[in-house]
Structure 1
Amino acid sequence: MSQETEFAAYVQNNIASAANDPGFVGLSQVWVRESIRYKYAYNFSWLGRPIIQVPQDTYAYQELIWNYRPDLIIETGIAHGGSLVMSASMLAMLDYCDAVEAGTVLDPKASRRKVVGIDIDIRPHNRAGIEAHPLQHKIQMIEGSAIDKAIVDEVHSIAKDYDRVMVFLDSNHTHDHVLAELHAYAPLVSQGSYCVVWDSGVEDLPADMCADRPWGKGDNPKTAVHAYLADQDTASRTGVDGKPLKFEIDKMFEAKLMISAASDGFLKRV
């Protein structure tokens, strides 16, 4: 066994041990709950743009992108654009590493890799900030509801030219909206890639923590995920690649992060 393999096994054992420690899991859940009271996830930025993500989840972002190496990332929900910039920066890093391995000169604007972001309301100052960013050439923004048929059709038209697609869902967090997003965009996810449903942890919060939002306990991304997966064995869903469309919840990310906004939200196409 190589040292790399030995260390990877050591890490997997750490992750499994943590996942089976109810005290550690419970403490992490308390921390997540209390951090929300102070809008902790609002405190961070990625390459100059506010990202509004739990920092631990950004580690999951980069691991997913680095390991799967997508050509196209589709994100619903833009806000200030930090998540788009993070995805774009990881795609740019893939381009750079490909050029290094090939011994060629990198032409940043020649790569096809890009991220498409959809939001019902792209505020002018956010659009301006994103369009002024050095990575804007890897970002395409679409304004409109992510579940509007015209928007869905436009994204599908873009995606047909790509072979390796990853999806992040992070817009309206109501059950019905997220379920509609899953039906619209999960078929674009490539075999072995992921559809990540953010803020599924709403289901695990006290009911009064979302009193000012249209979503809450019993009506949120996690309930949508469970509804989507509940009938996938009998629904005979097919991806745009013509192959059977089936996902499983990858609990490994939750176990390694412990602090995450996406409990039951890391869906891997299998």
Structure 2
Amino acid sequence: MAAADDRLAFEAHKKEMSLALGKDEDAFRQSLETLVTLDKYDYAYLWSFMGVPIIQMPADVMATQEVIWNSKPDVIIETGVARGGSVIFMAAMLQLIGKGKVIGVDIDIRAHNRDSIEKHPMSSRITLIEGPSTAAETLAKVKAEIPEGASVMVVLDSDHSRDHVLDELRTYGPLVTEGQYMVVADTVLGWADSSQTPTKRSKIWRAGDEPYAALKAYMEESTRFETDEALNGKLVLSSSPRGYLRCIKAA
């Protein structure tokens, strides 16, 4: 006897549990404490994607691939290239989908990191633009790479200070097309108290001067985005809780 087709029920249960997890403050606080412990071992720096370092939490990589697979953007813009693993990961997702490109923007793309990206098998789906992410000249170069009518997703993962992230949100938010996502990375900094703030960094961002503070300010300005409650609900052991915004209105 054939088993019943339970795919819809399975997905419904996933959503129910994700929403419930998102309301469990104790689970979130336990997750945050675990992240603080793991940071002693540079946990976010221990991973690679297709041979290139990807400075991300595994939960965020999984969440991002769900977004890309479901929304199938033509263009993904990421501010903050670092060592290149994230742009390669997103390019690989687009390769699987069979279309699109990633535009990586960074104020300083170091020669050895550029070499890793440009020699990678996914390089044909990646365009690198060096310059301050919110500068008019940089934005003009980014816009020139977006085909007319393309669906556009944005990931903000560069300087994590509040004012800079808010500037990026105002700069790149209008580029996101209806049905696509804008991801604000490292929002977890806004949930940490002074004893939990990561200090093994070249810069230290404390609560109030970090991406989540910028996100909250931007959401008071914009009516084009909503928080994806189910997706964000399951983002424990994540650097970007509540950082996944869905565009619900055309620009």
TM-score higher than 0.5 here? yes
Which residue of 2 is the match for residue 8 of structure 1?
Answer: 11
Would the alpha carbon gap of residues 218 and 257 (structure 1) be closer, same or farther in structure 2, given more than 3 Å must change? closer
User: Which of the residues 114, 117, 125 maps onto 1:138?
Assistant: 125
* Deviation (angstroms), 1:42: 0.2
Count of aligned pairs: 242
Unpaired runs of 5+ in structure 1? 96-110, 234-245
Q: How does 1:74-113 map to 2 (within 5 A)?
A: 74-95=77-98, 111=99, 113=100
Does residue 151 in structure 1 map to residue 138 in structure 2? yes
Contact 1:254/1:260 (<8 A) preserved: no
Q: Kindly report the root-mean-square deviation, in angstroms, between the aligned alpha carbons of the 2 structures.
A: 1.7
Question: Matches of 1:85 and 1:10 in 2, distance apart?
Answer: 32
Deviations 1:170-212 (A, max 9, x none): 0000111111111111111110110000001111123253556
Contact 1:159/1:188 (<8 A) preserved: no
Q: Give the stretch that moved more between structures: 247-256 or 59-68.
A: 247-256
Contact 1:194/1:266 (<8 A) preserved: yes
* Deviation (angstroms), 1:18: 2.4
Would the alpha carbon gap of residues 251 and 38 (structure 1) be closer, same or farther in structure 2, given more than 3 Å must change? farther
Does residue 224 in structure 1 map to residue 214 in structure 2? yes
Q: Give the stretch that moved more between structures: 56-65 or 247-256.
A: 247-256
Question: Matches of 1:224 and 1:16 in 2, distance apart?
Answer: 24
Higher helix proportion (structure 1 or 2): 1
Give 1:254's aligned amino acid. Answer: N
User: Which of the residues 117, 122, 127 maps onto 2:114?
Assistant: 127
Other structure's SS at 1:115 match: strand
* Deviation (angstroms), 1:161: 2.7
Contact 1:71/1:162 (<8 A) preserved: no
Other structure's SS at 1:171 match: coil
Deviations 1:84-134 (A, max 9, x none): 000000000001xxxxxxxxxxxxxxx5x1000001111111111111101
Other structure's SS at 2:113 match: helix
* Deviation (angstroms), 1:230: 1.2
Other structure's SS at 2:234 match: helix
Give 2:173's aligned amino acid. Answer: A
TM-score after normalising by structure 2: 0.91
Question: Matches of 1:70 and 1:134 in 2, distance apart?
Answer: 20
Question: Matches of 1:146 and 1:61 in 2, distance apart?
Answer: 21
Q: How does 1:61-72 map to 2 (within 5 A)?
A: 61-72=64-75
* Deviation (angstroms), 1:78: 0.4
* Deviation (angstroms), 1:71: 0.6
Question: Matches of 2:216 and 2:165 in 1, distance apart?
Answer: 11
User: Which of the residues 198, 215, 232 maps onto 2:205?
Assistant: 215
Does residue 175 in structure 1 map to residue 178 in structure 2? no
Which residue of 2 is the match for residue 239 of structure 1?
Answer: none
* Deviation (angstroms), 1:10: 1.7
After TM superposition, where is structure 1 displaced by more than 6 Å over at least 4 residues in a row? Answer: none
* Deviation (angstroms), 1:63: 0.3
Other structure's SS at 2:178 match: coil
Other structure's SS at 2:127 match: strand
Deviations 1:19-40 (A, max 9, x none): 3333322211211222223220
TM-score after normalising by structure 1: 0.85
Unpaired runs of 5+ in structure 2? none
Structure ranking higher on relative contact order (CA contacts 8 Å, 6+ apart): 2
Contact 2:76/2:153 (<8 A) preserved: yes
Would the alpha carbon gap of residues 81 and 268 (structure 1) be closer, same or farther in structure 2, given more than 3 Å must change? same
Give 1:188's aligned amino acid. Answer: L
* Deviation (angstroms), 1:162: 4.5
Deviations 1:245-266 (A, max 9, x none): x111223223223221112211
